[in-house]
Chain A
């Protein structure tokens, strides 16, 4: 029994088509081992009978079913291109620190606006910023770069949150006590020196790095059996520790 056709997006269709053509090439390559005459696909075109629909967000297509008339026609043509053309027309995938727009918790409208501008990753956004393009102007005031930059920073920080492995009380050369916080991804942003509050009293930071933070403590912090340490590493990373004295 025939089932209803599934609605699909052009991007999904082309992706599947390319995967299928790769499989074809592999099949033909295997065949070429035993058969001296084998052929490679140079061009492939498809005229599809489809019914397009737009849900206000994206255009989807449904292939015409038997007996359905009045369908639109979409022609997809795939030609073989050289590796040089691929390099000239394809963006090099982002580095390991690059973030896809889809991974940033921003609203759908902003994502849609960014995609329309050809922005699919944070690196794309940086390139636009470096060229002094005012996003507010080109998007009718809907996108504010500074707000977006904050969201991106937050997302990046969420991917590498601070992790505390241990806290100890030590003495420096002049016998002054300090709390040594050891861990990972602690003070990673040099623009923001960490801020520490020990037992609800501000404490000075002696030194900070991604691996350790030294917090100066004194009598005014009234160290007791249970101590509360709040550490702000940057605007997107705040931790609260309960330090027990032994």
Chain B
């Protein structure tokens, strides 16, 4: 998966928390995500480095461990987002 997609997917959550019974509506205005990722760096035909990445795929502890890099993202509600 291209790196741009993984970041976009990580931020594709519904940032609104609604409790209709209590009549409360909250929204997430800032989030920090820290995740291990795997990278696949390849050079395409014109020599440009393509960053492919994936979150950890295997949940079974094995003796042959993938090399996990760490990704940290700080995201904020867009200025034009409807935060009211």
Q: Please count how many residues in chain A sit with their CB below 8 Å of the partner chain's CB atoms.
A: 39
Residues from chain B with Cβ under 8 Å of A64 in the complex:
67
A19 to B70, CA, bound (A): 19
Q: A108 at the A/B interface (Cβ < 8 Å)?
A: no
A89 to chain B: closest CB distance in Å? Answer: 21
Whether B4 contacts A20 by the Cβ 8 Å rule is: yes
B46-84 contacts to A, CB under 8 A, are 48-51, 64-83
Whether B2 contacts A20 by the Cβ 8 Å rule is: yes
Q: Please count how many residues in chain B sit with their CB below 8 Å of the partner chain's CB atoms.
A: 43
Residues from chain B with Cβ under 8 Å of A17 in the complex:
3, 51
Whether B7 contacts A21 by the Cβ 8 Å rule is: yes
A41 to B27, CA, bound (A): 17
Whether A44 contacts B7 by the Cβ 8 Å rule is: yes
Grouping DSSP codes into helix (H, G, I), strand (E, B) and loop, the A interface class, with mixed when no group exceeds half, is mixed
Whether A39 contacts B75 by the Cβ 8 Å rule is: yes
Count how many pairs of residues, one from A and one from B, have CB atoms less than 8 Å apart in the complex: 125
Whether A71 contacts B51 by the Cβ 8 Å rule is: no
Whether A13 contacts B74 by the Cβ 8 Å rule is: no
Residues from chain B with Cβ under 8 Å of A90 in the complex:
none
Contact of A40 with B7 at beta-carbon distance under 8 Å, contacts A5-B41, A16-B50, A23-B2 already known: no
Whether B75 contacts A32 by the Cβ 8 Å rule is: no
Whether B41 contacts A23 by the Cβ 8 Å rule is: no
Q: List 13 A-B contacts (CB under 8 A).
A: A8-B49, A13-B49, A20-B4, A20-B7, A24-B8, A24-B11, A27-B4, A37-B81, A39-B31, A40-B75, A40-B76, A43-B72, A49-B67
Binding site for A on B (CB under 8 A): 2-5, 7-8, 11-12, 14-16, 27-28, 31, 39-43, 48-51, 64-83
Task: Using A6-B43, A65-B67 as known contacts, list a sample of 4 further A-B pairs with CB atoms less than 8 Å apart, ordered by residue number in A.
Answer: A44-B71, A48-B39, A63-B39, A66-B65
